[in-house]
Structure 1
Amino acid sequence: MSTTNMEANQALSLKDQINQYLRYWPWFIISVFIFLLLGFVYLRYASKEYVASTKILIKDTQSGGGLSELSALGDIDVLGGSFNTVENEMEILNSNKLINDVVSNLDLNIVYTRTGNIKSTNIYKNSPIKLSILIDSLSNTISESIDLMIRYVDDNKFEIKYKEDLNYVVHEYGASFKMNDLDLLVVPDFNHSRNASRSNDVEHENWKDLFISIKSINDVTKSLKSELNITKADKRGSVLEITLVDPVKEKAEDILNNLVVVFNEDAIKDKNQVAQNTAKFIDERLADIQKDLDSLERGIQNFKTTEKLTDLVAESALNLQSSAGITRELIESRTQLEIARLIKNKLNKESYNFIPENIGLENLNIQQASNSYNSLVQEYNRYKDNATADNPILKRLKDEIDSLKQAILLSLNNTINSIEIQKQSLTRELGSVSGKISTVPENERIARYIERDREVVEAIYLLLNEKKETTAISLAVTAPKAKIVDFALASKDPVSPKPKIVYLAMMLIGFILPGAIIYGRSIFYNKIESRNDVERGLPNANILGEVPKLDKDSVDYIVSNDRSVLAESFRIIRTNLQYKLNALNHDGTKIILVTSTIKGEGKTLVSYNISNTFAYSGKKVLLIGGDIRNPQLHRYLPNVSKRTKGVTEYLTNDQLTVEELAMTSKVNPNLDIILSGAIPPNPAELWMQDRTKDLFEEAKSLYDLVIIDSAPTILVTDTLLINKYADVTTYVTRANYTDTSLLEFVADTIEDGKLSNVAVVVNNVKLANFGYGNKYGYAYGEEKKTWLDLLKKKFSKGKSFE
């Protein structure tokens, strides 16, 4: 192939790649139609799923929305703080515990289904009956789903069985019964009856068979948990959006609403539990603190009792005041004692002299006696100077003075004794008061120590009492943690499946699947399909033409005045061959060798029809059956045996001539055929004899054109042995049959010079793969077909778009 042709080929490579898809356009249309139909069927019977969503506001995210274990004692600052974030609440909302409670509250582990002709429908709250498990804990022991069938008998009875069983068992409504170790109870759902009557639905007495599936609560919890989606409505806010996708709108809404209720109940329960624990802790501490406070107060009481104290400060002041008073009294006593003693000494030392009076002695009797005494002494002294000793008045006065003096001395002795006693008493009292005053510092220290402990314990006692009231208030006020912003609401339109997306996806699949098949086939399919494949594998070889693929009931040879695609294709091959023959440097009879790589590529069909086409042009043509190993040429000569004498006999018998062996074709008088003859044991050796040259020389002398139907080249050497006698070698390949790797063998054979003047024919090519026929066609002069006619033709018998 020339460089120009190669460049043109490369320029058209993208176009060729596109054309390999476009030529299968009917299959793309059919594929899209089929997938659109599948999409319609899917949308018709697929379970529609709806998304329900609710929004809640998490209150008090800093403190968790309620009383925590530490908030009651926060003022004491002996424990840390509790800070719950929105992320923590998201984890709680999606916890197994809460979802398990929701499943139990709504009985989601019991699924009621009504079976239709094609699909089953979950009827949720529209079930005419309600099945209950009497012992809820047994629901978690179910390892596999329990499938039951139940159907209506009358208003008092129903029939139930396992799905796989054949016979039903009759039970009464409201009476418990046991199945699979579960105690079950079935009652009519009167709410359903009222709903059915309002919606013109079927009344409960006419309901059909129902399918009930009992599942493990834990399994349903896991499934529901995986379907829940909890997100923050705003990254910086505390509003959470909870969404759930489910085929039943009402069920999805109930699940979300109940989840929020359970979340709040759990928060309140947790809050109350914390408050109760806190109150219990406070009560216990109060009891201990009260004991400590009572012990301290009793200690103070015992201390004051022992020390005879009431008020240490006041008593200290009183003691000091008392000490001063006692000291003063003691001094006064001592003064009185000295005065009394002075007067006594005066009386004892001097006679009939005046004694001191009004010198501070507090005894009135002595003072009066002293006054009387001094008066008598004064009178005595007045009479003494004027009278004698025997004067009766003096004697009387002297007697009275002596008598009064004795009385005063007696009084003074009594007074002195009394003052001595008083002095001793005051001294003792002063010593007692002084002792008390000396113990004040120690008592004050002890009192302060005890009072300090009492004040600390009393402060704790008062604080705990205050917190006890706070806790009691928190128990009385149970505000929910989550405020509902939007109640659960399911979407009006299903989120799955979406018709537009389904139809678009089906349309894309309809386009992609045939394309993928074609692309995969182009990658893994190693057969040639058109002349383009041959040109890529044999860039230096000329392409004579393409032979179309025939219908199963079509004849594989051309006839006179034939206008079929087969006839036109061989006329093109004949024309191209004529150009090659005319280019030869001799004018004698030309020999055309027809061969192929392997058996089955159609060399016999090509050689026969090429011979027929040249013969119809007026030339005298001889077709020689050169494949003496596996002869096939006899099928074009009806009623002629495969064992008829031919080439083998000519090569082995020198007496035979070409004219004796040649047989004229019944469809074309210008065509003679020499069959292969009997199959010899040594074909290669026969072709190596000189008799071979005689065969072709004799044929050339009798005919205008000699065509040889030879053996495949890769299997035997027969063709290579006789190729030297040929002017043109016509190499036959077969679409969808010849491996592309075999073209390498052909190229090597040509390059090594084993075959001369080679030109290629592509056999069995589909019309869609024709190099030029795909665009223009061979049916020149025929009526133009409509696209509908072309579509019908594509799928007519014998056509394939593989």
Structure 2
Amino acid sequence: MSTNNMETDQPSPLSEQLNQYLRYWPWFITSIVLFLIAGFIYLRYATNQYEATATILIKDTQGGGGFSELAALGDIDVLGSSFNTVENEIEVLRSNKLINVVVDQLDLNISYSVEGNIKSGQLYRDNPIKLTILNDSIDYFLPESIGMKIENIGDEKFKLYDLNDKEIGVQTYGKGFSFQNIDLLVLPNNIGSTNPFNNGEKNANKDWSELFININPVRETTESIKNNLNIKKSDRRGSVLELRLKDQFKLRAQDILNNLIKVFNQDAIKDKNEVAQNTAQFIEERLSSVRKDLDSLERGIQNFKTSENLTDLIAESEINLTSKLGISREVIVAETQLNIAESLKKRLERSQIELIPENVGLNDFDIQASSASYNLLVQEYLKFRKNSSEDNPILKNLLNQIESLKEAILISLDNVIFSINTKKNSLEKELNNVSSKISNIPGNERVNRDIERDRLVIEAIYLLLNEKKETTAISLAVTAPKAKIVDYALAAKNPVSPKRKIVYLAMLIAGVLVPVTFLYVRSIFYNKIESRKDIEKQLPTVNILGEVPKLDRDTVDFITVNDRSVLAESFRIIRTNLQYKLNAIKRNETKIVLVTSTVKGEGKTLVSYNIANTFAFSGKKVLLIGGDIRNPQLHRYSSSNASKRTKGVTEYLVNNDLTLNDLVIHSSKNDNLDILLSGAIPPNPAELWMQDRTKELFDKAKSNYDLVVIDSAPTILVTDTLLINKYADVTAYVTRASYTDKSLLDFVSDTIKAGKLKNVAVIVNNVKLANFGYGNKYGYVYGEDKKNLLTKIKSFFR
């Protein structure tokens, strides 16, 4: 007997969640295989992208990479400084101007392709012909791409078509022609063709039949290259740049990077030469003007000195000026010492006894020594006077010494003041004498000095311009490139896009996620029961008799003698569990089992017939009654000549003369099984079941049989089942997986709680083998031959 949900060990929520997905493992395998095949097809026909890398060193970033615009005038510093950073060079390398030149040099705006079975493949360097545009720069102004098809018809001729396969005409190699107002020229390329679908390997067959050519606007090609070009500094503080470019051709990526570096250097050299030439011209013009000014000044000085009979008085005047400056300094020093001596004298002449300044700047060592001794005596006097009277002999002795030393210092100061006054008078006389000499220098000499000063300025400018002239000449002769190539462009062997491992990994993940997503979304919106677990969650107190497996279309839906099928084993389990419930009823009389469901189509008739059949095979005499007199279905299992018109329950309830033996049909498949069909469909089935004749029917059945099974009507649709349920001992309630709504289980629960159904136990019909619970999916095949994986997969999809 199966236990209810409250008494059963439940799996962990995580394992339960995983099992909901793992039981669909064939779908996961199928999805993964399909996505991996899709990934293989994508990689087979996707356009590979290769990445080429080049490294350059930007030289002299602070000076602009060489001879800058103002380098020749840098020492003059009249226009400020000009610095060129690595970031500026990155923008120059990415400029449309340089990339346009590369596109023009390599004819990148003209693409060649051949048509394949699945897609077209482009050619580079190995195209059998070369198209040249004769109109200057017309491809710069094309509004959109222009396409054409060329068909080779010989060594000298070819046919020209537009993209709509309209023939334009036959043209000759090497002879110009016009196509959509563009003058073109086609020349044969003397190289072997390449099979674009054979990894770039040379094709021994140089013949070709058709070739597609596209002329794209230069601006579009430039923008495409610019979008795939990545330039960055290798080191944050360095000036090494790493250039990366993605393209479907390795050689084209390498050519573009190498040519871009070449064009960058050529452009920088051109700029430097233009600047150097303009600078040289400017310096030459200034030199001519300065040369004239310098010559005029020198001739003016010569004429002036000659006419005025002047000698070199500049040196003499400089000597006098130097002498005057020295004497003036000595006079200032003498006046300073005189002021100090007079101030010190005034301080000593005061009547009070106080300290005097020491080392005040006088050069007389006697005064300095006397001043120090005087201050010591004063300090000692002041200290004794605090603790003694005026009559103290020591204090009087100190006072006498102080007075004597003061007189000596005053005498010395008088001598010093006299000496300083004498020296000062002498210096003033000498200063007046020198000043007189300076004032007597002729005014013509001062004019001469002004002229000489102008000459020196002009001469310095002349020398500087001559030096810059030589620097500019050297710069014109030696023009080093701005970028030093550290590594030439080199493309990696393997493509950077698409990455095979990432694509396969993405397909693998998608192969798992798609069924997971589908199953998850389905679980959200799917409201049908799937297994006994759904019943246990919503009807935890109701017993579950068992599960009936989902049958294949070609499988019979009834059991036979000695049947070892999954269907037979499932009903044997139901019989065993049902027997437990019947034995629990303490009554010796025959038991009645009523089989019902919520709605039509849940398998009541199949379940009731097989339950009766299973009990009958066990040796019991069983009567199966067709209790659904509104929509009878039991005749399908009775005999070949039975139908809905065959007499049965309806006739028994209506006609009192009929007995049970008159209406019972003996089963041809089971000797212990009798069947009482529903009979004709009456207009008032509910009223028929309410008659006393109903009780007589069940009493008669119990007296003649060991077990009575009733195939009744759905409970939610009609009231018939509720009317006869009082005669039943056990109610077997049938639900159907993937059919019965979970919301209908609420009706079942309410009906049981209301007591309208007696001793209810649930049977889950049409359950997939993967959804069976409690190991039944293993037990049902016990003793059978083990199926291989292919058989299991086929069975799953069936």
Give the aligned partner of residue 634 of structure 2.
633
Query: Is the CA contact 2:4–2:542 (under 8 Å) kept in the aligned structure 1?
Result: no
Query: What residue identity is the alignment partner of 1:94?
Result: R
In the alignment, structure 1 residue 571 sits paired with structure 2 residue 572: yes
TM-score, normalising length from structure 1? Answer: 0.75
Displacement after TM superposition at 1:441 (Å): 6.3
Separation in structure 2 between the aligned mates of residue 749 and residue 508 of structure 1, nearest angstrom: 47
Distance in 2 between residues matched to 1:240 and 1:597, nearest whole Å: 78
In structure 1, what is the Cα distance between the partners aligned to 2:599 and 2:592?
22
Indicate the residue corresponding to 1:360 in structure 2: none
Match of 1:785 in 2: 786
1:636 is matched by which residue type in structure 2?
Y
1:59 maps onto 2:94 in alignment: no
Cα offset, 1:515, TM superposition: 4.4
* 1:537 alignment partner AA: Q
Does structure 1 conserve the Cα–Cα contact (< 8 Å) formed by 2:301 and 2:451? no
Structure 2's unaligned 5+ residue stretches are 314-438
Q: Work out the CA distance in 1 between the residues paired with 2:2 and 2:631.
A: 37
Flag the 1:750–1:194 CA change in 2: closer, same or farther, 3 A: closer
After superposing the two structures, state which structure 1 stretch, 213-222 or 308-317, moved more.
308-317
1:92-131 matches, cutoff 5 A:
92-131=92-131
The aligned residue for residue 767 of structure 2 is: 765
Q: Is the 8 A contact 2:635 2:644 kept in 1?
A: yes
Shift in Å, 1:582: 0.8
Give the counterpart of 2:725 among 720, 723, 726: 723
Instruction: Tell me what 2:797 maps to.
Output: 800
Cα distance in structure 2, aligned partners of 1:312 and 1:538: 137
Q: Is 2:49–2:495's contact at 8 Å kept on the other side of the alignment?
A: yes
SS at match of 2:74: helix
Moved more, 609-618 or 492-501: 492-501
Given that residues 626 and 649 in structure 2 are in contact (C-alpha distance below 8 angstroms), is that contact kept between their aligned partners in structure 1?
yes
8 A contact 1:2–1:540 mirrored in 2? no
Change (3 A) 1:298 1:151: same
Provide the residue aligned with 2:227 in structure 1: 226
C-alpha displacement at 1:277, in angstroms?
4.5
Provide the C-alpha distance between the structure 1 equivalents of 2:503 and 2:46, rounded to a whole number of angstroms.
11
The residue that corresponds to 1:80 in the other structure is 80
The alpha-carbon distance between structure 1 residues 311 and 156, as it changes in their structure 2 partners (threshold 3 A), is farther
For residues 193 and 507 of structure 1, what CA distance do their matches in structure 2 show? 38
Note closer, same or farther for the CA distance 1:471–1:714 as it changes in structure 2 (3 Å cut): farther
Percent identity for Structure 1 against Structure 2: 66
Going from structure 1 to structure 2, the CA distance change for 1:485 and 1:729 (only over 3 Å counts) comes to: same
In the alignment, structure 1 residue 708 sits paired with structure 2 residue 707: no
Q: Deviations over 1:598-642 (max 9, x none)?
A: 222212211121122122223232323333333322322333332
Q: 1:297 to 1:279 in 2, by over 3 A?
A: closer
Q: Measure the CA separation in 2 of the matches of 1:752 and 1:81.
A: 100
Matched, 1:242 2:239: no
Gap change, CA 1:627 and 1:7, over 3 Å in 2? closer
**Per-residue displacement from partner, 1:564-614 (whole Å, max 9, x unpaired)?**
111111111111111111111322222222222222221221112112212
Match of 2:755 among 745, 753, 756: 753
Deviations 1:643-669 (A, max 9, x none): 444444445555555444433333234
Distance 1:626 1:214 in 2: 85
Note the C-alpha offset of 1:497.
4.2
Name the CA distance, whole Å, in 1 between partners of 2:693 and 2:458.
Answer: 139
Post-superposition CA distance 1:730-782 (Å, at most 9, x none): 12121222233333333333334333322111111122222245652423333
1:222 Cα deviation after fit:
1.7
- AA aligned to 2:57 is L
C-alpha distance in 1, partners of 2:511/2:681? 54
Q: Which residue pairs with 1:173 in the alignment?
A: 173
Q: CA shift at 1:130, angstroms?
A: 0.2
Q: Is the 8 A contact 1:592 1:726 kept in 2?
A: yes
Cross-structure match for 1:602:
603
- Structure 1 position 140, deviation (Å): 2.9
CA separation of 1:575 and 1:483: change in aligned 2, threshold 3 A: same
Shift of 1:301: 7.5
In the alignment, residue 149 of structure 1 is paired with which amino acid?
A: K
| 1:139–1:217 CA contact under 8 A, matched in 2 | yes
- Amino acid in the other structure paired with 2:644: K
Counterpart residue number, 2:269: 268
d(CA) in 2 for partners of 1:2, 1:700: 27
User: Larger radius of gyration, structure 1 or 2?
Assistant: 1
Residues 702-755 of structure 1: CA distance to partner in whole angstroms, max 9, x if unpaired?
433222222323333333333333221112121222233333333333334333
- 2:340 maps to none
Measured against aligned partners, the alpha-carbon deviations of 1:243-288 in whole angstroms (never above 9, x if no partner) come to 223222211111111111112122222323433444455566667x
Secondary structure of 1:269's aligned partner: helix
Paired positions, count: 669
Q: Residue 217 of structure 2 corresponds to which residue in structure 1?
A: 216
1:314 aligns with 2:316: no
Q: Which residue of 1 aligns with 2:530?
A: 529
1:517–1:634 distance in 2 versus 1, CA, 3 Å: same
Alignment of 1:195-594 (within 5 A): 201-202=203-204, 204=206, 206-279=207-280, 282=283, 290=290, 310=306, 314=310, 456=457, 459-460=460-461, 462-594=463-595
Task: State the Cα RMSD in Å.
Answer: 3.6
Match of 1:662 in 2: 664
Regions of 4+ moved over 6 Å? 1-4, 193-196, 295-305, 438-442
Alignment CA distance shift 1:277-1:523 (3 Å): farther
Q: How far apart, in 2, do the equivalents of 1:194 and 1:778 lie? A: 65
CA contact (8 A) 1:627 1:710 kept: yes
Give secondary structure in 1 for the equivalent of 2:797.
coil
8 Å Cα contact 2:549-2:767 kept in structure 1: yes
In structure 2, distance between residues paired with 1:722 and 1:69: 112
Q: What is the CA–CA distance in structure 2 between the aligned matches of 1:194 and 1:32, rounded to whole Å?
A: 36
Report the counterpart of residue 383 of structure 1 in structure 2.
none
486 and 793 in structure 1: CA distance in 2 versus 1, 3 angstrom threshold? same
Q: Does 1:619 align with 2:605?
A: no
Q: 1:596 to 1:298 in 2, by over 3 A?
A: same
SS for the counterpart of 1:75 is: coil
Query: Aligned partners of 1:483 and 1:3: how far apart in 2?
Result: 85
2:137 corresponding residue in structure 1:
137
Please give the alpha-carbon distance, in whole angstroms, between the structure 2 residues aligned to 1:440 and 1:688: 158
Change (3 A) 1:603 1:298: same
DSSP 3-state at the match of 1:561? coil
Residue 715 of structure 1 aligns to a residue in which SS?
coil
The alpha-carbon distance between structure 1 residues 775 and 569, as it changes in their structure 2 partners (threshold 3 A), is: closer
Say if 1:688 and 1:164 are closer, same or farther in 2 by CA, change over 3 A.
farther
Return the alpha-carbon distance in structure 2 between the equivalents of residues 154 and 315 of structure 1: 100
Instruction: Compute the displacement of 1:4 (Å).
Output: 9.1
Distance 2:792 2:205 in 1: 58
Q: Partners of 2:782 and 2:731 in 1: how far apart?
A: 30
SS at match of 1:221: helix
Assess if the C-alpha contact under 8 Å between 1:26 and 1:791 holds in 2: no
For 1:463 and 1:716, the matched residues in 2 are separated by 120
Please say if residues 264 and 481 of structure 1, whose CA atoms lie closer than 8 Å, have aligned partners that are also in contact.
yes
Aligned to 1:367: none
Mapped contact 1:147–1:163 kept (Cα < 8 A)? yes
What whole-Å deviation, never above 9, does each CA across 1:338-392 have from its counterpart, x for those lacking one?
Answer: xxxxxxxxxxxxxxxxxxxxxxxxxxxxxxxxxxxxxxxxxxxxxxxxxxxxxxx
Q: Identify the match of residue 738 of structure 2 among 736, 739, 754.
A: 736
1:54–1:486 contact (8 Å) kept in structure 2: yes
Which SS does the other structure have where 1:76 is aligned?
Answer: coil
CA distance in 2, matches of 1:129, 1:33: 44
Question: Could you state the TM-score of these two structures normalised by the residue count of structure 2?
Answer: 0.75
Mean Cα deviation higher: 644-653 or 266-275: 644-653
Q: Partner amino acid for 2:98?
A: L
Are 1:150 and 1:211, in contact at CA under 8 Å, matched by a contact in 2? yes
- C-alpha contact 2:51 2:246 (8 A) present in aligned 1: yes
| Cα distance in 1 for residues equivalent to 2:90 and 2:177 | 41
Note if contact 1:122-1:248 (Cα within 8 Å) is conserved in structure 2. Answer: no
For residues 622 and 266 of structure 2, what CA distance do their matches in structure 1 show?
Answer: 105
